[in-house]
């Protein structure tokens, strides 16, 4: 019924209510073909998509159904990797590129969104997914504690370079920007790079906003994303100076970020075209060199009041309003870098990394 009913909201919702606990308990309870059909009905074919004002309950139930099954997929993937037993001994590189980037971040975003929807009485499902939500929360909280202990044990060795460290934001210029710039300089007589410096943006917020950059920069080459650790677990000017200067800054390092960037890149022979900031972002005509764009987005950094998954729509809408026209104006010859000075932000309890 869920795979074929396209008129009755009540019938479809009742079918989803019956299916959900079965699908959570056994991923093979519904064939992949049938599940694709159910998702297609919910996303495109049901009348609710043409007249959402008449089907508000079904719209919310459909979102809850698909997000819950996606959460179950991530929980199963976490267990399949054996991370419940081996997470404590995983190297920092595995944490950054696999544990957080591929598994815990999407799991956390889904948990936040589902918790917000369920708390608002999203549907007649009630707490059919309560056990799954509890299990996911336990995984997330345990992982946060283990990651905090890992950083505590190794932080001094990382910043003192006593052992090969993970990539930290202080490495952005030398390891990411300058190698790319040299390639640009060799290939073009008029090289241009735009650095989007997000203030306080965490990895989960980046994942939320990343589709916007893909949407607005279709003329540019495919994006490559790499997690980095913030120098400090907050987003103060010290972190910004570490990125801009490409070194561990002294307490006296301060000033306009554009001036600091010019100071750092002058010995490298890299011209700085200027610096712009939200909400007044603009692309100078005929720009050559590096343009620094300081970006602050609602519900990120110091403005954060809610978990990212619950504030997703506001984050995306605000980023589109603040960044959309500017991204559209960036010439296709430019290489765009996005980097954040953010670390962890405390929202409703324990800090989320």
What is the DSSP annotation of 23-64? HHH-TTSS-HHHHHHHHHIIIIISGGGT-GGG-HHHHHHHHH
pLDDT over 90 at 229, yes or no: no
Q: 72 or 12: which carries more pLDDT confidence?
A: 72
Residue 351: band (very low, low, confident or very high) from pLDDT cuts 50, 70, 90: very low
Tell me the backbone φ, ψ of residue 117, rounded to 5 degrees: -65, -45
Q: What is the rounded average pLDDT of the residues 225-242?
A: 77
How far apart are alpha carbons 338 and 350 in whole angstroms? Answer: 27
pLDDT over 70 at 350, yes or no: no
Residue 307: band (very low, low, confident or very high) from pLDDT cuts 50, 70, 90: confident
pLDDT over 90 at 74, yes or no: yes
Q: What is the dihedral of CA 163, 167, 172, 176, to 10 degrees?
A: 100
Least confident of 58-67, 81-90, 99-108: 58-67
Residue 44, token pair as written in the block: 């495109």
Q: What percent of the chain has pLDDT over 70?
A: 90
Residue 162: the pLDDT is 77
Q: What is the rounded average pLDDT of the residues 225-239?
A: 75
What residues contact residue 168 under an 8 Å CB cut-off, 6+ apart? 158, 159, 228, 229, 230, 231, 242
How far apart are alpha carbons 64 and 115 in whole angstroms? Answer: 10
Highest mean pLDDT among 49-63, 176-190, 206-220, 331-345: 176-190
Instruction: Scan for tokens 């939320």, then name that residue.
Output: 208
Residue 349: the pLDDT is 33
Residue 82: the pLDDT is 93
Residue 39: the pLDDT is 86
Residue 347: band (very low, low, confident or very high) from pLDDT cuts 50, 70, 90: very low
Q: 145 or 228: which carries more pLDDT confidence?
A: 145
Instruction: Scan for tokens 């994006």, then name that residue.
Output: 223
Residue 270: the pLDDT is 93
Residue 327: the pLDDT is 92
Tens of pLDDT, residue by residue over 255-281, are: 688 888 998 999 999 999 999 999 899
pLDDT over 70 at 153, yes or no: yes
Highest mean pLDDT among 26-35, 55-64, 231-240: 26-35
Region class of 246: left (phi > 0), else alpha (psi between -120 and 50), else beta? left
Q: What is the rounded average pLDDT of the residues 244-249?
A: 82
What residues contact residue 76 under an 8 Å CB cut-off, 6+ apart? 27
Region class of 236: left (phi > 0), else alpha (psi between -120 and 50), else beta? beta
Query: How many C-beta atoms surround the C-beta of residue 20 within 10 A?
Result: 21
Peptide bond into 174 cis (omega under 30): no
Q: 133 or 351: which carries more pLDDT confidence?
A: 133
**pLDDT averaged over every residue in the chain:** 84
Residue 37, token pair as written in the block: 């059909």
Q: 125 or 208: which carries more pLDDT confidence?
A: 208
Tens of pLDDT, residue by residue over 157-209, are: 888 877 777 888 888 999 889 999 999 899 888 899 999 999 888 888 888 98
Q: What is the rounded average pLDDT of the residues 75-93?
A: 91
């Amino acid at each position: 019924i869920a795979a074929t009913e396209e008129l009755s909201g009540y019938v479809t919702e009742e079918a989803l209510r019956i299916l959900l606990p079965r699908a959570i308990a056994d991923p093979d309870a519904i064939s992949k073909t049938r599940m694709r059909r159910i998702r297609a009905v919910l996303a495109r074919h049901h009348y609710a998509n043409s007249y959402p004002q008449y089907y508000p309950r079904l719209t919310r139930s459909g979102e809850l159904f698909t997000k819950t099954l996606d959460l179950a997929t991530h929980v199963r993937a976490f267990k399949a990797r054996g991370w419940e037993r081996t997470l404590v001994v995983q190297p920092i590189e595995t944490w950054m590129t696999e544990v957080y980037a591929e598994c815990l971040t999407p799991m956390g975003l889904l948990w936040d969104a589902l918790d917000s929807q369920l708390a608002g009485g999203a549907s007649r499902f009630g707490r059919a997914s309560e056990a799954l939500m509890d299990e996911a929360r336990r995984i997330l909280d345990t992982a946060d504690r283990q990651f905090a202990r890992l950083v505590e044990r190794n932080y001094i060795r990382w910043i003192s370079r006593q052992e090969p460290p993970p990539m930290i934001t202080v490495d952005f210029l030398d390891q990411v920007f300058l190698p790319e710039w040299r390639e640009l300089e060799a290939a073009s007589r008029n090289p241009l790079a735009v650095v989007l410096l997000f203030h306080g943006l965490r990895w989960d917020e980046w994942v939320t906003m990343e589709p916007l950059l893909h949407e607005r920069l279709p003329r540019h080459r495919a994006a490559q994303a790499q997690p980095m650790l913030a120098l400090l677990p907050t987003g103060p000017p010290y972190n910004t100076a570490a990125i801009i200067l490409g070194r561990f800054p002294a307490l006296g390092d301060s000033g306009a970020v554009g001036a600091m960037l010019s100071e750092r890149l002058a010995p490298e022979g890299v011209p700085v075209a200027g610096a712009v900031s939200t909400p007044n972002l603009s692309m100078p005509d005929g720009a050559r060199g590096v343009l620094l764009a300081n970006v602050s987005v609602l519900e990120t950094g110091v403005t954060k009041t809610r978990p990212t998954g619950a504030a997703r729509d506001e984050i995306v809408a605000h980023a589109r309003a603040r960044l959309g026209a500017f991204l559209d104006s960036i010439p296709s010859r430019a290489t765009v870098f996005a980097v954040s000075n953010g670390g962890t932000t405390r929202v409703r309890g324990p800090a989320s990394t």
